[in-house]
Amino acid sequence: MLADVMGQAFAADGTVAREAQAEALAARVGGAVVTLRGVGRVFGNRTVLDGFDLDIAPGSFVSIVGRSGEGKSTLLRLLAGLDAPNAGSVELDGRPIVGISPDITIMFQDARLLPWQTVIGNVGIARGAGWREKALAALTAVGLAERAGEWPAVLSGGQKQRVALARALVRQPGLLLLDEPLGALDALTRTDMQRLIARIWRRAGFTAVLVTHDVAEAVALSDRILVLRGGRVALDVPVDLPRPRPRASADAAALEAAILDALLG
Amino acid sequence: MSLSLSGPAFALPRLRVSLRPLLPWVVPVFVLAVWQIGCDQGWITRRTLPSPLGIAHAAWTLTLSGDLLRNAAISCERAFGGFAIGGTLGLLFGLLNGISPLASRLLDTTLQMLRNIPHLAIIPMVILWFGIGEPAKLFLVAVGVFFPIYLNTYHGVRLVDAGLIEMGRVYRLPRLAMFWRVILPGAMPSILLGVRYGLGIMWLTLIVAETISASSGIGYMTMNAREFLQTDVVLVGVLLYALLGKLADVMARALERLCLPWHPSFAGGEH
């Protein structure tokens, strides 16, 4: 019902206005710089991270690959401000990350949409002035503007993650953290989502940090790939492949093989 | 049924379809018929069980005299008055203990201990405290309703998806927005379950309270009728309770539809 109304509104304005709105939303001052120095995180008597250093360039797309329990998610939660390190410093644009910053947002493994809010209500979860327009522009960017008035329950898994991505975009983050957001999707939907994320990242210019098990996904999306093993960086490689990236090139395959070797030790 | 447009060959299946909704009523109507015939033939004495028509007649007489409506209104007033008091308190304590670990540590054990006392067991004390006036009935209903609503609210809040709360933190929702947009709607299905349990306990408590001590209400009407062996009036009272109970259930379902439009089980409109 609501979607119809909005659909009509857009039909009247034409798609040009819609695209312009999406572009305006995407245009941001650029990505944030992330700096980690001597970061340590201990859970009980288990050391997950120890003396960890990392510099992430503004606007870059960095993937962190590792097996389960190698500290990937811990690292991401430290960056998100959801957790604090036992030692060392985590900084964003030269300022320590204390608690949750308005400049950072995170996409989780599950979409975490509120079932009792419509799609647009979820995207504009923080409300504030003009939230409907912002939310609608973000939904347009992920290609779901016509589903704005529906309940999340009727969406597919891939669509839910696209809504979650739109919700993250409304914040216009300097740093977008992706905690295996495509892990639960089928292969085709995954590929679609990877393309969408790459396109939005290129346009919006935020810094992106992706945590994943999937080496091919890391190669498809990133500028740089870190392999984490035993709480340390086992491999740190740049990805100098042209964008948009073709599926399954020889260079990509060679890179994937090298990363898999580093993962397996 | 429109028989004029279609030929007889098509009329038969239509007829069959239109009779289908009547099927569940076959057994009740049959039982009523046997019951009525049994009373008419003298197999069942009037004092044991009045006939269905006799009960209908009694209901009609009571309606005309105004007794039925007056007593039903008084009973409803007590029931919903007590429900409002007990339900509100249960909701408030449930929300408080669900949200605040301190409040929960302080109060939950006490409330769990009190919960194990059957509230009808304290009727003698209630009569000592409040006599047989209105406060006694309101108090009993309120106590009975308090616990199911408290427990379901408390658990509903505690079991709100931690992932959604973390999401709310990441999006820096202020405390009030977190409560109204995440916690309360998340606990709502459980709260409404508590409301439904509470409504059942509400009528049960009121029936007992009115039967033991009252000078008005449906319970009083039936107890009074028993004194004079007016079994038909007693059964009118029983049926009235059933009707009001059903009415409360319909209201609870309407409330669920109103509060949970997003819930997949209400999405289709059919339940």
**What is residue B268's predicted lDDT score, i.e. its pLDDT?**
46
Residue B253, SS3 per DSSP: helix
A187: its two tokens: 């292969």
Q: Which residues of A touch B190 (CB under 8 A)?
A: none
Q: How many CB atoms sit inside 10 A of residue B104's CB?
A: 18
| Residue of chain B whose alpha carbon sits nearest to that of A154 | B264
Q: Which residues of B touch A154 (CB under 8 A)?
A: 267
- A234 phi/psi in degrees, rounded to 5: -85, -25
Whether the CB-CB separation of A74 and A83 falls below 8 Å is answered with: yes
- Give me the residue spans of the domains in chain B: 57-267
Percent of chain A with pLDDT over 90: 65
Whether the CB-CB separation of A41 and A12 falls below 8 Å is answered with: no
| Residue of chain A whose alpha carbon sits nearest to that of B166 | A82
**CA atoms within 13 A of residue B105's CA, in its CB half-sphere:** 3
| Interface predicted TM-score (ipTM) of this complex, two decimals | 0.85
Whether the CB-CB separation of A84 and A78 falls below 8 Å is answered with: yes
**CA atoms within 13 A of residue B88's CA, in its CB half-sphere:** 5
Q: Which residue has the tokens 């107890």?
A: B223
- Give me the residue spans of the domains in chain A: 2-264
Whether the CB-CB separation of A154 and A181 falls below 8 Å is answered with: no
Q: Which residue has the tokens 């990242």?
A: A201
CB-count exposure of residue A200 (10 Å: 0-12, 13-18, 19+): buried
Out of B163, B167, B185, name the one closest to residue A116 (CB): B185
CB-count exposure of residue B77 (10 Å: 0-12, 13-18, 19+): middle
pLDDT (mean) for A236-243: 90
Nearest to B239 by CA among B29, B9, B51, B59: B59
Q: Do B171 and A125 touch (CB under 8 A)?
A: yes
> Hey, what CATH topology would domain B57-267 get?
MetI-like fold (1.10.3720)
Summarised one tens digit per residue, pLDDT across range B39-80 is 999 888 888 889 999 999 999 999 999 989 999 999 999 999
Q: Under CATH, to which class is A2-264 assigned?
A: alpha beta
Q: Give yes or no for A115 touching B (CB within 8 A).
A: yes
Out of B172, B181, B186, name the one closest to residue A102 (CB): B172
Angle of CA points B235, B237, B240, to nearest 5°: 110
Summarised one tens digit per residue, pLDDT across range B142-193 is 999 999 999 999 999 999 999 999 999 999 999 999 999 999 999 999 999 9
Q: Do A116 and B163 touch (CB under 8 A)?
A: no
Inter-chain contacts counted by CB atoms under 8 A, chains A and B: 52
Chain centre distance of CA B12: 42
Residues in chain A: 265
Q: Which residues of A touch B168 (CB under 8 A)?
A: 125
Whether the CB-CB separation of A122 and A152 falls below 8 Å is answered with: yes
pTM exceeding 0.95:
no
| Residue of chain A whose alpha carbon sits nearest to that of B170 | A100
**A29 confidence band (pLDDT: 50, 70, 90):** low
Whether the CB-CB separation of A33 and A57 falls below 8 Å is answered with: yes
